[in-house]
Amino acid sequence: MGKYQQKTIMIGGGILFGLLLILAQFKMIDLYVQSVIMFIGVNIIFATSLSIVNGYMGEFSVGHAGFMAVGAYVSSLLSVILFTVDKETGMSILPPSMSIYLFPIIIIVGGIAAGIAGLLVAIPSFKTRDDYLAIITIAVNFIIITALNNMDFVGGSRGYMGMKKVIYGMEGIFKFPYMLFWVITFAIFTVFLIRRFITSTFGKGIIAIKQDEVAAEIMSVDTNHMKLVAFMFSSGLAGISGGLFAHVIGYVNPGSFSILKSTEGLVMVYLAGMGSLSGSVISAILFTILLELLRPLQIFKWVLIPLILIIVMQFRPEGLMGDKELSDYFPKLKKFYKFK
């Protein structure tokens, strides 16, 4: 594989990304399409991060949205407190113009907070195995939602807003589709990061845990340590997706991170195939578009989508991609990008 070809995809992707930004900048694509693209980005981060634990490590975490909530609330609170004049949080601590530079850092801080929450959950839960992890993570999801519902300073069940002010503040200084830029940047960054993580020696250990934990242990894989790190990494990325989600919508309420959101993540991962990064990306894209297309069906889309999952499990139980990557189906792609 030549360096030249690898550069091609980077340049090609860059041009595409730039084109998208220009189109958005001059309002050539409407806000609705922009928001769908942003949701795709958020879902890509959410699904690929869940695929570390549920796909590559073979554990069954069901409360991923809980960590998304942690990231969403932490980064929302931070950006509102730091950059806006609010009747509850008072004057802005930093000049609003700094938000342009500090925004990604705020999102990452939200991710770190979610990662710490993930670690706190992982320490007790990986003393157990299999179904118990699922039960614990469901419980954690409920705990986080209930806690948020009862915290008055983040609005309780009414939700929390004010993030739009930050975004408008940024746009007021220089007109640019900031959120679109950051969502896509973070999504690309996440996918690259996970790919590196999974293909490292450390990642091989994680895949070994999925295949046979006892065998991994007697091959001197420090399974407990690896599970903690993988879970923390996964929930940290979920926190990043949460932070972006909150700023895209400009409003968060505990209800949007309920068990239903966790289920969406599971659907995306299992639709994609367990242990396929490109699969998770593709299924996040398809799933988000599907959700939009099925909007006219209103609540019935939640009948149709699980039905699709049932059909996939019947006829292709390993998911759309199984543990294969896109390049395994289209070997010519390897010329441009090394998938694993």
CB atoms within 10 A of CB 304: 12
**All residues at 6 or more sequence positions from 339 whose CB lies less than 8 Å from its CB, including other chains:** 195, 277, 278, 325, 326, 327, 328, 333
221 makes contact with another protein (CB under 8 A):
yes
Strands 251-252 and 160-161: antiparallel
Closest to another protein by CB, 219 vs 293, is: 219
Closest to another protein by CB, 189 vs 202, is: 202
At 252 the three-state DSSP class reads: strand
Radius of gyration of the chain (CA): 20
| Min separation Cβ 129 and another protein, Å | 6
Closest to another protein by CB, 210 vs 301, is: 210
Phi, psi of 252 (to 5 degrees): -125, 140
CB atoms within 10 A of CB 54: 25
- Rule CB under 8 A: which of 147-176 touch another protein? none
| Min separation Cβ 132 and another protein, Å | 10
314 makes contact with another protein (CB under 8 A):
no
Tell me the site size for another protein, rule CB under 8 A.
Answer: 18
Structure tokens at 92: 């802005």
| Residues in a beta bridge with 161 | 251
Binding track, positions 107-146, relative to another protein; x by CB under 8 A: --------------------xxx-----------------
| Min separation Cβ 221 and another protein, Å | 6
CB 272 within 8 A of CB 283: yes
318 makes contact with another protein (CB under 8 A):
no
Structure tokens at 321: 């991609």
Q: Of the candidates 212, 306, 307, 317, which one interacts with another protein according to CB under 8 A? A: 212
Sign of CA dihedral 264, 74, 86, 36: negative
| Min separation Cβ 220 and another protein, Å | 4
262 makes contact with another protein (CB under 8 A):
no
- Rule CB under 8 A: which of 30-89 touch another protein? none
| Min separation Cβ 275 and another protein, Å | 10
Sign of CA dihedral 104, 75, 68, 227: positive
223 makes contact with another protein (CB under 8 A):
yes
Structure tokens at 32: 């609705």
**All residues at 6 or more sequence positions from 296 whose CB lies less than 8 Å from its CB, including other chains:** none
Q: Of the candidates 7, 124, 222, 310, which one interacts with another protein according to CB under 8 A? A: 222
| Min separation Cβ 258 and another protein, Å | 31
| Min separation Cβ 211 and another protein, Å | 5
Binding site for another protein (CB under 8 A): 127-129, 201, 208, 211-212, 214-215, 217-225
